[in-house]
Amino acid sequence: MTATLITGIGELTTNDDELGRLHDAAVIIEDERVRWVGPAANAEPTDARVDVGGRAALPGWVDSHTHLVFAGDRTAEFEARMAGQAYSAGGIARTVDATRAATDADLGETVRRLVREAVSQGTTYLETKTGYGLTVDDEARCARIAAEHVDEVTFLGAHIVPPGTDTDDYLATVTGPMLDAVAPLVRWADVFCEQGAFDATQSERVLRAAAVRGLGLRVHGNQLGEGPGVQLAVRLGAASVDHCTYLSDNDVDALAGSDTVATLLPACDLSTRQPLAPARRLLDAGAVVALASNANPGSSYTTSMAFCVATAVLQQGLSVDEAVWAATRGGAKALRADTGDGAVGVLRPGSRADLHVLDAPSVTHLAYRPGVPLTCAVWRNGAREY
C-alpha cells in the first residue's frame, strides 16, 4: 500500500466533531482512505510527501444534486428569463428531445466533461439524475451512462410527463417497466413534485413504488411556490428534499423535526430569478441544510460549488463555516454517505481520501474573494486529480 503525507496545511477543516479545525496540520492518505489526521509536527514519514505551503484544506465538495446526462443547449431560454419571462418546467421537454437523439458516446462525453470541470473546482463526490430520457430504454441508457462516471445515480423518470402522453399511462410506465429497467443501476428515486409536473398523490405513487424496489427517496419540492413536496418528503422519510425555495412555517418545522435534509440550490434560484431559499431560517430552526449546484442545461448551468458557497454567505445569511459544512458534510448527509468507513464530506481516519486544497490561507477566502478560482490541488478517492 502506498501512503502520501500532505503536510504544511495552514488551516484544515475536518468537519469531524472531535478533530474540529486544525492549524499547521497534515493528512496521511493511504490508497483510498485517510489514515491519519493531526498536527504536522506529529506526522510519520511516508512513501510520498506533498507540502502545500501553508494553504487551507477541507473535504472535497459533495455535490448531491446534478443533472449531467443531457444533450442540447437552452441558451435562448436563459436569455428569455433574463428578459423577464417566468421560469416553468416546460423547458425540460426540449432537453428530452435532444437527449433522446444523442448517441451514447455524446452523452458520455458530456458527463465526463462536466465531471472534470467539477473536480477541477474541488468537487470530489457527485450525484446525478436521469430524467431527460423519459422512455424505458432512454432512462435505462441514461442511468447506465451516469453510473460509469459519478458516485451516486438517482432515477428521475418522474421529471415531467412527456408532451402528448397521458399522465396515468405515463405513471404506470414509470412505476412499472421503467423502474424495473433502472433499479439495478441506481441507488435513489426522485420526483418533481411541483406545479407543471406531478402533484402530491402522483408523487407519492412514484416514491412508494421505488421504496418497494429498495431505492432511497429524494424529492424536488417547493421550487416554484409553496406546495406539498416538503411534507411528502418528511412523511415518507426521504433523505432530502431539494430546492426548498418557498417554505411555510409548517414546512420549516417539519424539516427541523426530521432526518430529511433541506438541499438548497442557490445557483438555480439566481438563474431562474426566484427568491433565494431561506437558509438562515432553516438553520435557526434546527434543520440540516445542504448546498448543491443543480448543474443542468436549463435552470442552473454551473458546476461551481464555490459559487454556491459564496452566494450562501453573501446573500443567504450563512457564515462561511456553515456554508462550507453544507457543501461538504451537508451534501454527504443528503446522500447518507457521511458515516462509517469511506465516509465523505469529512476528514478523519477511515474516511474516503477526498481533499481540496485552496490557494488561500483560510476557507473564508471562498466568500471574501467571490468568483476567484481558488482550487490549488484535489485528491479524489486517494488519487490526485488536480
pLDDT tens per residue across span 148-161? 999 999 999 999 99
The answer to whether residue 177 sits within a structural domain is yes
Residue 185 shares a structural domain with residue 264: yes
Residue 134 shares a structural domain with residue 150: yes
Alpha helices in 16-74 (DSSP H): none
Give me the CATH number covering residue 363.
Answer: 2.30.40.10
The answer to whether residue 339 sits within a structural domain is no
Containing structural domain, residue 127: 61-334
Number of other CB atoms surrounding residue 154 within 10 Å: 28
The answer to whether residue 22 sits within a structural domain is yes
pLDDT tens per residue across span 52-108? 999 999 999 999 999 999 999 999 999 999 999 988 766 899 999 999 999 999 999
Quick one: pLDDT at residue 89? 64
Residue 128 shares a structural domain with residue 18: no
Residue 327, C-beta contacts closer than 8 angstroms, at least 6 positions apart: 61, 62, 290, 291, 292, 305, 308, 309, 312
The answer to whether residue 216 sits within a structural domain is yes
Quick one: pLDDT at residue 88? 75
Residue 146 shares a structural domain with residue 207: yes
Residue 306 shares a structural domain with residue 268: yes
Quick one: pLDDT at residue 59? 99
Question: How far apart are alpha carbons 8 and 132 in whole angstroms?
Answer: 45
Average pLDDT rounded to a whole number, residues 287-295: 98
From the list 134, 118, 99, 142, the residue with the least C-alpha distance to 298 is 99
Measured in degrees and rounded to the nearest 5, phi and psi for residue 110 equal -65, -45
Quick one: pLDDT at residue 6? 98
From the list 5, 51, 53, the residue with the least C-alpha distance to 29 is 5
Residue 134 shares a structural domain with residue 259: yes
The answer to whether residue 36 sits within a structural domain is yes
Residue 307 shares a structural domain with residue 250: yes
List beta partners, residue 5: 28, 49
pLDDT grade for 287, boundaries at 50, 70 and 90 = very high
Residue 267 shares a structural domain with residue 286: yes
Quick one: pLDDT at residue 91? 86
pLDDT tens per residue across span 152-193? 999 999 999 999 999 999 999 999 999 999 999 999 999 999
Residue 221 shares a structural domain with residue 285: yes
Number of other CB atoms surrounding residue 307 within 10 Å: 18
pLDDT tens per residue across span 235-248? 999 999 999 999 99
The domain tally of the chain equals 2
pLDDT grade for 223, boundaries at 50, 70 and 90 = very high
Residue 69 shares a structural domain with residue 111: yes
Residue where one domain finishes, among candidates 314, 334, 354: 334
Give me the CATH number covering residue 192.
Answer: 3.20.20.140
Residue 224 shares a structural domain with residue 364: no
User: Does the structure show a pLDDT above 80 at 294?
Assistant: yes
The answer to whether residue 340 sits within a structural domain is no
User: Does the structure show a pLDDT above 90 at 266?
Assistant: yes
Task: Please report the sign of the dihedral spanned by the C-alpha atoms of residue 266, residue 270, residue 276, residue 277.
Answer: negative
Residue 176 shares a structural domain with residue 85: yes
Average pLDDT over the chain reads 97
User: Does the structure show a pLDDT above 90 at 1?
Assistant: no
Quick one: pLDDT at residue 87? 86
